[in-house]
Structure 1
C-alpha cells in the first residue's frame, strides 16, 4: 500500500509498504481522508521530541472498515469510522483518576506509532466511532481537531453571549471561532498576520484584526471602553500573543491556552493578580468530547466545509508540507486523499 512516511527532518516520501498485520480486537480500516495537522508540520520539521523516523504520519482520519478481528459486534465491514487517536498508559495518576487524556506518558497514533496517511491501518475497535450517513468523508476528517475546540470551550467555561478574542487564524483558531459562533458568542474577534486567512474569517462574519498592521490591544480597548473581553482563546502559539493576552481579557476574565507553545514565554502575571483573571490550559480532549464532536460535526458541516482549502492525493503528498509553507497557496486546512 502507499503511505506518506516521515524519513527525517524536512523529508517525507510516498512509499509502498506492506499492509500492517492486525490483532484480536482490531479493525482493518481502508483510509479515505487524513487531515494535515500543525503537529504533522512539527514532525516534518524534525521538532517533535517523540516522533521517530520512519513513521507513517496522520492522526485526523476517516475510513471504512473492511475487516474486524474477534470484534464485539459493534462494527461491521462497510462502516465508516473515525478514531480517537490517544494512547494512555492506564496506570499513572491522571489515568487512575479519570483523566487519561492527560496521561503522563500520553501517546498518539501518527506520532508514536504509524498513522492514517496510508491505504490501510489496523485500529483498536474500542477507539472507533461510527460516522453518521449524513456526514461526508471530508467533514468527518475534521472531527479530531473539532474535538480540540470542544475541550477548549469546556475548559474556558464558555457562557452564552460571552465576548471573545481568538488569537491566531490557523485551522484551530478558525474552528474555535466557528464553534463560538454556533455556541452563541455575542462577539468574536480573530487576529492574525495573514490577510487571506482573515478574509476567510470575515466570510463567516467574524471581526478581524491584522496584527501586522494594527494593534490588537488598542482595538479591544477602543471597542470595550478599556474593559476587555470575557474570554481570550490563544490559538497562535506565538510569543507576541502570549505577551498581550492578559491585556485583552477583562477583570475576572478567562484566558484559555488552546494552542500549544513550543517554548517558554513572557506573560504579564501582574494582570492575573490585579484583574483576578483565570489562566487555564487545554490539551487534546476526552473520549466523551471526541464522541460529542462526531455528532456536532453534522451541525457545523456547512461552515466546516469552508475550512478545507486544499485536498491533495496521497500519491503526490510528498510535497504537501512545501505547499502548506508557500504563502501564495493560502492553505488553511489540507486533507490528503488516501485513495488517490
Structure 2
C-alpha cells in the first residue's frame, strides 16, 4: 500500500509499504482524508522527541471500515469512522485518577506508532467513533483538532458573552475563534502576522489584528477602555504572545494556554499577581470531548469548510511540508487525500 513516511529530518517519502497485519479487537480502515497537524510539521523538522523514522504520519483521519477482527458488534464494514488517537498507559497517577489524556507516558497514533497518511491502517475498535451520514469527509477530518478546542474552552471556563482574544491564526487558533463565535462570545479578536490567514478569519466574520502593523496590546487597551478581555486563548506558541498575554487579559480574567511552547518563555508574573489572573493549561482532550466534537462538527460545518484551504493527493504529498512553509501558498488547514 502507499503511505507518506517520515524517513529523516526534513524528508518524507511516498512509499510502498506492507499492509499492516490485523489483530483481535481492531478494524481495518480504508483512509479517506488525513489532516496535517503542527505536530507533523515538528516531526518533519526533526524536532519531535519521540517520533522515530521510519514512521507513517498522521493522527487526524477519517475512513471506512473494511474488516473487523473479533469485533464487539458496535461497528460493521462500511461504517465511516474517526479515531481518538491518544494511547495511555493505564497505570500512572493521571490514568489512575481519571485523567488518561494527560498520561505521564502519553503516546499518539502517527507519532509513536504508524498513522493515517496511508491507504489503510488497523485501529483498535474501542477508540473509533461513527461519523454521521450527513457529515462530509472534509469536516470529519477536522474532528480531532476541533476536540483540542472544545477542551480549551472547557479549561478556560468560557461563558456566554465573554470577550476574548485569540493569539495565532493557525488551524487551532481559527478553530478556536469559530467555536467561540458559535458559543456566544461577545467579542472575538484574532491576531497573527499572516494576512492571508487573517483574511480567512475576516471571511468568517471575525475581528482581526495583523501584529506586523498594529500593536495588539495597544489595540485592546484602546477598544476596552484599558480593561482587557475576559479570556485570552494563546494559540500561537510565539514568545511575543507569551510576553503580552497578561497585558491583554482583564483583572480576574483567564489565560488559556492552548498552543504548545517548545521553549521557556518570559511571562509577566507581576501582572498575574496584581490582576489576580488565572493561567491554565490545555493539552489535548478527553475521550468524552472527542465524542462531543464528532456531533458538534456537523452543527458548525459551514464555517469549518472554510478552514480547509488545500487538499493534496497522497501520491503527490512528498512536498506537502515545503508547501505549508511557503508563505506564497497561503495555507490554513491542509488535508491529504489518501486514495488519490
Shorter-normalised TM range: over 0.9
Q: Does 2:185 match 1:185?
A: yes
Counterpart of 1:279? 279
Counterpart of 2:157? 157
* 1:200-215 matches, cutoff 5 A: 200-215=200-215
Counterpart of 2:95? 95
Give me the whole-angstrom Cα distance separating, in 2, the residues matched to 1:93 and 1:259. 24
Q: 3-state DSSP class of the match of 1:41?
A: helix
- The normalised TM-score by structure 2 is 1.00
RMSD between aligned residues = 0.3
Counterpart of 1:12? 12
Counterpart of 2:227? 227
The Cα offsets for residues 157-176 of structure 1, whole Å up to 9 and x where unpaired, read as 00000000000000000000
Q: 3-state DSSP class of the match of 2:253?
A: strand
Counterpart of 1:34? 34
Give me the whole-angstrom Cα distance separating, in 2, the residues matched to 1:17 and 1:107. 23
Counterpart of 1:311? 311
Q: Does 2:146 match 1:146?
A: yes
The Cα offsets for residues 249-289 of structure 1, whole Å up to 9 and x where unpaired, read as 00000000000000000000001110000000001000000
Counterpart of 1:128? 128
Give the superposition deviation at 1:205.
1.1
Counterpart of 1:250? 250
Counterpart of 1:218? 218
The Cα offsets for residues 141-198 of structure 1, whole Å up to 9 and x where unpaired, read as 0000000000000000000000000000000000000000000000000000001111
The Cα offsets for residues 51-99 of structure 1, whole Å up to 9 and x where unpaired, read as 0000000000000000010000000000000000000000000000000
Give the superposition deviation at 1:27.
0.3
Give me the whole-angstrom Cα distance separating, in 2, the residues matched to 1:22 and 1:331. 36
Q: 3-state DSSP class of the match of 2:260?
A: coil
Give me the whole-angstrom Cα distance separating, in 2, the residues matched to 1:200 and 1:313. 23
Give the superposition deviation at 1:115.
0.1
Give me the whole-angstrom Cα distance separating, in 1, the residues matched to 2:20 and 2:228. 53
* Runs of 5+ consecutive residues of structure 2 not aligned to the other structure: none
Q: Does 2:81 match 1:81?
A: yes
Give me the whole-angstrom Cα distance separating, in 2, the residues matched to 1:230 and 1:45. 36
Give me the whole-angstrom Cα distance separating, in 2, the residues matched to 1:281 and 1:30. 35
Counterpart of 2:169? 169
* Runs of 5+ consecutive residues of structure 1 not aligned to the other structure: none
Counterpart of 1:70? 70
Give the superposition deviation at 1:125.
0.2
The Cα offsets for residues 14-65 of structure 1, whole Å up to 9 and x where unpaired, read as 0000100011000000000000000000000000000000000000000000
Give me the whole-angstrom Cα distance separating, in 2, the residues matched to 1:68 and 1:76. 7
Q: 3-state DSSP class of the match of 2:301?
A: helix
Q: 3-state DSSP class of the match of 2:209?
A: strand
